[in-house]
Amino acid sequence: MPRDNRVRILVGTRKGTYVVEGDAKRKNWKVGPVAHEGDEVYHVVADPRHPGDLYAAVNNMFWGPMVQRSRNWGKNWKEIATPLSPAKKDRKPEFNESEPSATVKRPLTRLWHIEPGLERQPETLYLGADPHLLFRSTDLGSSWEPIEGINNHPARKNWSPGFGGACLHTILLDPRTPRRLYIGLSAVGTFRSEDEGKSWKPTNKGVEAPFLPDKNPETGQCVHHVAADAADPDTFYRQDHGGMYVSHDRMEKWTRIGKPLGDDFGFCVASPSSAPGTAYFVRLDGRGRVTRDGHFQVQEWNDKTRKWRKLLSPRQFPGHFGVQREGISTDNLDPAGIYVGTTTGQLFVSPNAGKSWAQVPFQFPSIHSVSVANPSTG
Amino acid sequence: MVEVHLDSWLREFGPRRNEKVEAISVEHLIDVLEGRHPRLRFKLRDETGALRQYVRVFVDGTDVSGTTGVGTSLEGVRTVDILHSIAGG
């Protein structure tokens, strides 16, 4: 297949999917036609193992959730298999405290995240869904198997949904071994598996839960998103309801890094492959859930110097902007491109690791997710 | 034989706008439709068998979605309309 130098920004919105194409300079962008028009699209992702293949987590308010795939960079989409919750009609509603069973009792309501497997597992996909469900496909989405280690976890009866629901929104793979997986669940926290999902260990030590009577529980933290460091697969950056954190030991313990910023609330985090030891966060007001100080801003964490840098000046994009958990992404070019989508439909791009910024000249619907299909994938 | 009028948005999953179905209940009717059009599965009902929140079923003009639901008898019934509700924004 000939090399494809285009960078594609994959935008999941409250009203459909957009593929935005640009070249390696990342200055001029062409917004393609909307797909899944009218549907809530929580995540769109490219499969780097199969150039041209895109997956979308589509949530239709009338007909329910659907996994959709495109095999031509988003020109056409087709529904593929969607996993099912093990809920049955004779079960009581989920989160009934008098019900001792850990079994899932609610139908699958929303799809949150699709993660292509490692290069050595070219047919594997992972999918995270509400209510706190994880699935794996080994045939590129023709069928799904529930990962019972988490879907029937013994502590499940104590899990509650966050404001965004019972979402399993983060799935991270260790590039060294397919046996090690990490997941993030709203209002529950992060977990690690060392056996391809058979068993899971909570990994929230050091993360505060300011909204619970016990401020340092084993689980119950509301993780918003986690990004892995590109060079060190043992290092992770975490945006939690309770602040910004880093872990250098496979999430065994977390260190809060956001305190110098004051309020370190937010939803999203990304780490670029061209600058290991770097993470980008969008700091929000913890109460209003929009950017602070009346302008769009992105904070850069340098894990070597352990210092923060603010990437935008107050004059550049004044206003109050919300950014959701999948709302930031980076590409694999050097310098890194940074892409941020807002809940009011702006798509901001920096082609040079935050030195300059521009807005893609298109008003999107409220943006749920931004991800990048890199040139090297084509 | 019941005449079923289906929401035009459902056509992307296979059914025609009007279908004729022999069925004793709404649940049975949806089972038959899903058998004819497998992509319709889980679009009208979720995994528990319940109608999805914004699906409306009218039996001879009466909305049964929030009352007798999928258990509604179709004895003597001539038409069933399956529509999406007025919702969104």
pLDDT for position A89? 55
What DSSP line would sit under A278-330, residue for residue?
A: EEEEEEE-TTT-SBGGGB---EEEETTTTEEEE-S-TTTSBS-----TB-EEE
In a domain, A98, yes or no: no
Residues of A in contact with B46 (CB under 8 A): 64, 87, 107-108
In a domain, B26, yes or no: yes
ipTM score of complex: 0.91
Q: How far is A313 from chain B (nearest CA, A)?
A: 34
In a domain, A67, yes or no: yes
Q: Which strands sit side by side in the sheet containing A7-13, from one edge to the other?
A: A29-31, A16-22, A7-13, A367-373
pLDDT for position A88? 62
* CATH (domain of A34): 2.130.10.10
Q: Domain total for chain A?
A: 1
Domain containing A249 equals 7-88+106-377
- Given an 8 Å threshold on Cβ–Cβ distance, is A64 in contact with B46? yes
Nearest CA in chain B to A81: B39
Q: Which helix (H) or strand (E) holds B18?
A: strand B18-21
* CATH (domain of B40): 3.10.20.30
pLDDT for position B87? 77
Q: Closest partner residue to B47 among A61, A63, A85, by Cβ?
A: A85
- Please report, in tens digits, the pLDDT of each residue of chain B (89 residues total): 999 999 999 999 999 999 999 999 999 999 999 999 999 999 999 988 999 999 999 999 999 999 999 999 999 999 999 999 887 77
Q: Please, are residues A299 and A308 in contact by the beta-carbon 8 Å criterion?
A: yes
pLDDT for position A91? 42
Q: Which residues of A touch B (CB under 8 A)?
A: 38, 61-64, 79, 82, 84-89, 91, 107-108
Query: Which of A63, A66, A82, A104 has the highest number of chain B CBs within 10 A, making it the mutation to test binding with B?
Result: A63
Q: How far is B75 from chain A (nearest CA, A)?
A: 24
What DSSP line would sit under A31-57, residue for residue?
A: EPPPBSTTSEEEEEEE-TTSTT-EEEE
Where chain A has pLDDT below 50, the residues are 90-102, 377-378
pLDDT for position A102? 45
In a domain, A53, yes or no: yes
Q: How many CA atoms lie within 13 A of A137 on its CB side?
A: 22
In a domain, A25, yes or no: yes
Q: Please, are residues A39 and A18 in contact by the beta-carbon 8 Å criterion?
A: no
- Identify the residue whose tokens are 């019941």: B2
Q: Closest partner residue to B47 among A62, A63, A84, by Cβ?
A: A84
In a domain, B53, yes or no: yes
In a domain, A43, yes or no: yes
In a domain, B89, yes or no: no
List, for residues A20-64, the tens digit of each pLDDT value.
Answer: 999 889 999 999 999 999 999 999 999 999 999 999 999 999 999
List, for residues A219-233, the tens digit of each pLDDT value.
Answer: 999 999 999 998 999
pTM above 0.80, yes or no: yes
SS3 A377: helix
What DSSP line would sit under A249-260, residue for residue?
A: STTSS-EE--GG
Using alpha carbons, select from A336, A328, A326, A4 the residue that is nearest to residue A168.
A326
Q: Domain total for chain B?
A: 1
- Tell me which amino acid residue B11 is: R
Residues of A in contact with B86 (CB under 8 A): none
Q: Closest partner residue to A87 among B47, B52, B84, by Cβ?
A: B47
Domain containing B9 equals 2-84
Q: Closest partner residue to A61 among B42, B50, B54, by Cβ?
A: B54
In a domain, A95, yes or no: no
Q: What is the rounded CA–CA span in Å between residue A320 and residue A322?
A: 7
- Identify the residue whose tokens are 């975490």: A238
Q: Closest partner residue to A62 among B47, B48, B84, by Cβ?
A: B84
In a domain, A122, yes or no: yes
Q: Please, are residues A34 and A18 in contact by the beta-carbon 8 Å criterion?
A: yes
